[in-house]
Amino acid sequence: MRTIDNTADTTVYVALELSRAIWLVAVRLPGVEKLVFHRLEAGDNLPLMKPAAAHCNIMSRPY
């Protein structure tokens, strides 16, 4: 079982780049230096935050 370290940074950073054709979502997870990128069709509002939510769900799962 994973123990929770309250002193560790648990912040998930999300950056959005919105253009007329493509929207780019970048997610940075705690303890991971590499950004994860997701490309979406512009104007597709519903799945805009799904990539970030999915990564947050993965980080919150117990081992």
* pLDDT one-digit tens code per residue, 3-61: 555 566 778 888 999 999 999 989 888 888 899 898 988 887 777 777 767 766 665 65
Q: Which residue has the tokens 């590499």?
A: 34
Residue 34 lies in a domain: yes
Residue 3 lies in a domain: no
Q: How many domains does the chain have?
A: 1
Residue 43 lies in a domain: yes
Residue 24 lies in a domain: yes
The predicted pLDDT at position 19 comes to 93
Residue 52 lies in a domain: yes
| Secondary structure element (H or E) that encloses residue 18, with its range | strand 13-18
> pLDDT tens-digit profile of 2-11?
555 556 677 8
Task: Give the tokens for residue 25.
Answer: 């979502």
Share of the chain above pLDDT 90, in %: 14
* Contact in structure between 2 and 30 (CB atoms under 8 Å): no
Q: Domain range holding 19? A: 13-60
Query: Is 62 a residue whose pLDDT tops 80?
Result: no
